[in-house]
Amino acid sequence: MTLTTSDDYVLGRSPEEYERLRAQACMWEPETAQLLDRAGLAPGARCLDAGCGPGEAMRLLAERVGPAGQVTGIDVDARLGAQALGMLQAAGHRQCLFAPVDVETETAVPGAPFDLVLARLLLIHVADPVAVLRRLWDLVAPGGHLIVQDYDLLTGEVVPALDSVEEFRRVALGTFWRAGRDLRLGLRLPELHAEAGLGAPDELEVAARVGLLPALAPLYEAVHRSLLPTALSLGVTTQARCDRWLETFARESAGAVGHGAVAATDREREMQAAHLVDTNSVETVDLMGPTVQFLTAPEPRDDVPCVMRGTIPPGAIVPLHSHGDPETFLAISGELEGLSHSGDRFRWVEIHPGDVFHVPGGVKHAFRNLSPEPAVTIIASTRRIGSFFREVGTTAGHSEEAARRFLEVSERYGYWNATAEENAEVGLLLQP
């Protein structure tokens, strides 16, 4: 990206560099789109693209938030930002705005706070990434996301090695290093987050663009041309040496059909702010009578717990079953009975508001509500059990089709369900 102080952007501000930025944005579009989709951007959301450059990431945001949303781009390069805004609005994205802001020196951003702040290939170009991270985090609304994507420059290489590619790496890495940029910034993102006082990020991923050198050669040449003025001013290379490199690289790359190239490695991050959960808008699933609300949605990672609010209506039951996922129930309101299994014996335990009922993994258990009021509990369990509830949930209540699907999905997950006879033995009559 091009958001830097004053005019110290290593790659310059030429029309050719703007075109290179557009090509780079298209190259990383699939990875960025995947991150935005996982963040769950809803129509009407307010987003910020920090270091928006040519506006390609703004377009991805606008496509997801729709006309009711708002996408603000900020960049120190006012000319490029104005071009980006014109392109976006001509394409019908009237919800896009641009403001010339230098995030290294300015803290006020129009429209803050935002539901999502994106910093794609930004930190590699700033003098103080930690300070910028703090400023970006301050722009995130409660419950919002901060997504950071950036390069680890030392990962770009070609196998088998070529002398011309090694010369490219010498010039490119030497220029960024002498300009005071962190060559391993992508790999150091967790460390930078800790230094910024943001704690551990929710996720860390790696993405690489790998291809045959002849196909990626234009990328190498465009980068070399863009950084050449800075490289010359810093004494990294000479014009004569550059001219020889262009000639040699064009010849070697054209014939390097057996050479694989890694253009760059992109470190992708997602963070979520501490926030109050709006229980009126969380996802709710019907489990053929009892319902579950996801206070925290099932995450892709197994080490992130899933917290739910369960409600068992008056007279309803949760039949006898078991699974490998431990569950802990905190009773909130109503009266409930939980079935405890020890050895060959079952016994019903009364659960009152404030009581905690723990079910270890693999233990048979059941619930029934014999009271005239709904019984409400907070459930803490695993991502896997949350995903199971989401998959078997129904909007049609109890039906033969819903029961059949419940048993099919249970079998696939490896969960055990008692028969009608086994349920009757513990005092539970299944609905036909």
Question: Over pLDDT 90: what percentage of the chain?
Answer: 56
pLDDT of residue 210: 73
Virtual CA dihedral for 331, 334, 335, 341, nearest 10 degrees?
A: -30
Sequence ranges of the domains in the chain: 15-272, 284-425
Return the percentage of the chain with pLDDT > 70, whole number: 90
pLDDT tens-digit series, residues 154-178: 877 788 888 898 899 899 999 999 9
Cβ proximity of 270 and 140 under 8 Å: no
The reply to whether CATH 3.90.280.10 applies to domain 284-425 is no
Amino acid identity of residue 175, one-letter, is T
- From 65, 56, 1, select the one nearest 32 (Cα to Cα): 56
Strand partners, 341: 346
pLDDT for the residue numbered 398: 63
What span, in angstroms and rounded, lies between the C-alpha atoms of 6 and 76?
8
Q: In degrees, to the nearest 5, what angle opens at C-alpha 139 toward C-alphas 81 and 208? A: 65
User: What is the Cα–Cα distance from 301 to 425, expressed in whole angstroms?
Assistant: 38
pLDDT digits (tens, 9 = 90+) for 393-431: 865 556 788 888 889 889 888 899 999 999 999 999 987
Confidence of residue 5 (pLDDT cuts 50, 70, 90): very low
Which pLDDT value is given to residue 238? 93
Tens of pLDDT, residues 10-59: 999 999 999 999 988 888 888 888 888 888 888 999 999 999 999 999 99
Q: Around Cβ 322, how many Cβ atoms within 10 Å?
A: 18
Report the pLDDT value the prediction gives residue 268, as an integer from 0 to 100: 43
**77 touches 99 (CB < 8 A):** no
**What average pLDDT does the structure give for the chain?**
87
Mean pLDDT value of segment 183-190: 86
Question: Can you give the pLDDT at residue 261?
Answer: 67
| Residue 361: both structure tokens together | 């993994």
Q: Are strands 345-351 and 336-342 parallel, antiparallel or unpaired?
A: antiparallel
Per-residue pLDDT averaged across 261-280, rounded? 58
Model confidence pLDDT, tens digit, residues 48-105: 999 999 999 999 999 999 999 999 999 999 999 999 999 999 999 999 999 999 999 9
Residue pair 2/13 in contact by the 8 Å Cβ criterion: yes
> Phi and psi dihedrals of 281, rounded to 5?
-125, 5
Q: Are 392 and 287 in contact (CB under 8 A)?
A: yes
Sheet holding 416-417, edge to edge: 345-351, 336-342, 365-368, 317-322, 416-417
Residue 269 has pLDDT above 50, yes or no: no
- Residue the block writes with tokens 């050669």: 217
CATH 3.40.50.150 assigned to 15-272: yes
Q: Categorise residue 224: left if φ over 0, alpha if ψ from -120 to 50, beta otherwise.
A: alpha
Per DSSP, helices labelled H in 66-185 are 78-90, 129-138, 163-178
Q: Are 272 and 144 in contact (CB under 8 A)?
A: yes
